[in-house]
Structure 1
Amino acid sequence: MAYQRKRDKDIRCPLEYGMELFGGKWNSRIICVLATLGTLRYSELRKEMGNITDAVLASTLKGLIANGIVLRKSYDEIPPRVEYSLSEKGQSVVPILQSICQWAGLFYKEDTGTTMVQCQKCDHRGKTTE
């Protein structure tokens, strides 16, 4: 039996729709990884994601695919091969995420040494308000 929400989502403005699509820890990471590295197989994507579980990665990918952000291409081969990439809709959100990253970099100063390689593309470090 599939999970069903008790209530429908209560999205009242376009910003809430956008945050639903690309907000959250894993959605934005997947988008950034695919934007930087291009088409990846599941195992390659999982390796780049760090400490994500298979269940969470599969579920998050399913949601991104359903919303038209990520494309899933399956090849009829033995062994089976599946690749993930950003759709045109997914690519269009990358500059927005980069802007959010740059803005957040002005205020988030903690340097844990665990910054994702893909974050370097946003160039959020070294930006200051003057």
Structure 2
Amino acid sequence: MYQKKLKEDIRCPLEYGLEIFGGKWKSRIICVLAAKEVLRYSELRREMGNITDAVLSVTLKELIADDIVIRRSYDEIPPRVEYSLTDKGSSVVPILQTICQWSGAYHKEDSENTMIQCQKCDYRS
């Protein structure tokens, strides 16, 4: 996993929040898991669209380390692994929806490239 060269210097709760769910992929993964509840890796990858395996794997590991996503592995052949949101992860969904509502008022929508989950989003209300 990627190791930062400089020690984290988080000085306020907002910085902590943005570290947890900020960036291109974390909020998308959270939204997909919120909509689908439980997904296997391949299903999550398919829902995400254009994410690479390497990026998805690293991002999931970060979300697991931050207690946002839980990974459940089952002792079966073939092995089965499922991902879902923790209570902490589910608690961030209303925050992301609020950000989405705010963004919807100011961002020009590109409906051709909108994620499936975003098409169901209630940000227009």
TM > 0.5 between the two? yes
1:74 paired residue number: 73
1:90 paired residue number: 89
**How far did residue 112 of structure 1 move?**
4.0
Alignment of 1:4-83 (within 5 A): 4-83=3-82
- Per-residue CA shift, 1:60-107, capped at 9, x if unaligned? 000000000000000000000000000000000000000000100000
Q: Tell me the C-alpha RMSD between the 2 structures.
A: 1.3
Amino acid across the alignment from 1:27: K
Question: For structure 1, which runs of at least 5 residues remain unmatched after alignment?
Answer: none
Amino acid across the alignment from 1:12: R
Instruction: Work out whether 1:106 is the aligned partner of 2:94.
Output: no
Count of residue correspondences: 125
- Per-residue CA shift, 1:12-68, capped at 9, x if unaligned? 100000000001110000000000011000000000001000000000000000000
Percentage identity across aligned positions? 73
Structure 1 runs (4+) greater than 6 angstroms displaced: none
Amino acid across the alignment from 1:24: G
Structure whose CA Rg is larger: 1
**How far did residue 3 of structure 1 move?**
5.1
Q: Structure 1 51/3 Cα, relative in aligned 2: closer, same or farther at 3 Å?
A: closer
Amino acid across the alignment from 2:116: V
What TM-score do you get using the length of structure 2 for normalisation? 0.94
